[in-house]
């Protein structure tokens, strides 16, 4: 694999990110991928990082800075971390997480959260647990209510 670059995603990355998402099981039409990249580029609190090697996207991470009323600083919440499977590709995940932590520090975040589909302790090959992530000991439960898609309003 060529040298890895982790950076903020740009609109020109839409097709490469779309291919990567498709390989990860998240198929989106090209125009929808481009629209979502525009959302991230306009927001000051949302970040989409892409890992690129040889001109192709090989990893992607989304991060949102969330202010908290009851804490001294905001939290950086990673809502998506997508890297192809394989122990030899864990270094891409580590590079994305490292850049996400740098972004969080620039925003003066006091903590990082990852919305993961697995427990960090389940990672035995140098994954999240070895990067310092563990399950929260706070007595909070994440409650989610799906909302219907917005209706189009014609003026």
**Runs of H (alpha helix) within the chain:** 14-23, 30-42, 90-106
In the beta sheet, which residues pair with residue 85? none
User: Nearest to residue 24, comparing CAs of 100, 89, 73, 119?
Assistant: 89
Structure confidence by residue, pLDDT tens digits, 89-145: 888 999 999 999 999 999 989 888 887 655 444 554 556 666 676 666 665 556 555
Q: How is residue 108 annotated by DSSP? A: T
Mean pLDDT of the chain: 81
Q: Are 82 and 24 in contact (CB under 8 A)?
A: yes
Neighbours of 47 (CB within 10 A): 23
The beta strands (E) that lie in 67-130 are given as 75-82, 111-114
How much is the pLDDT for 119? 47
pLDDT of residue 112: 86
How many helices (H) does the chain have, and how many strands (E)?
Answer: 3, 5
Which tokens belong to 50? 């892409």
pLDDT of 47 reads 94
The tens digit of pLDDT for each residue in 51-103 reads 999 888 999 999 999 998 888 888 899 999 999 887 678 889 999 999 999 99
In angstroms, the Cα distances linking 36 to 29, 77, 79, 93 are 11, 18, 14, 22
Is it the case that residue 35 has pLDDT exceeding 80?
Answer: yes
- The pTM (predicted TM-score) of the whole model is 0.77
Question: What pLDDT is stored for residue 101 in this prediction?
Answer: 92
Domains belonging to the chain, first-starting first, are 4-131 (3.40.630.30)
């Amino acid at each position: 694999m060529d040298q890895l670059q982790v950076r903020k995603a740009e609109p020109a990355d839409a097709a490469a990110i779309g291919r990567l998402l498709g390989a990860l099981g998240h198929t989106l039409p090209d125009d929808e991928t481009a629209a979502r990249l525009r959302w991230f580029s306009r927001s000051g609190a949302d970040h989409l990082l892409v890992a690129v090697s040889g001109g192709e996207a090989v990893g992607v991470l989304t991060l949102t800075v969330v202010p908290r009323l009851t804490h001294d600083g905001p939290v950086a919440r990673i809502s998506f971390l997508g890297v192809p499977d394989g122990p030899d590709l864990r270094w891409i995940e580590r590079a994305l997480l490292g850049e996400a932590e740098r972004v969080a520090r620039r925003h003066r975040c006091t903590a990082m959260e990852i919305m993961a589909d697995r427990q960090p302790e389940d990672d035995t090959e140098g994954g999240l647990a070895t990067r310092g992530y563990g399950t929260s000991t706070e007595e909070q439960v994440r409650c989610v209510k799906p909302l219907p898609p917005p209706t189009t309003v014609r003026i």
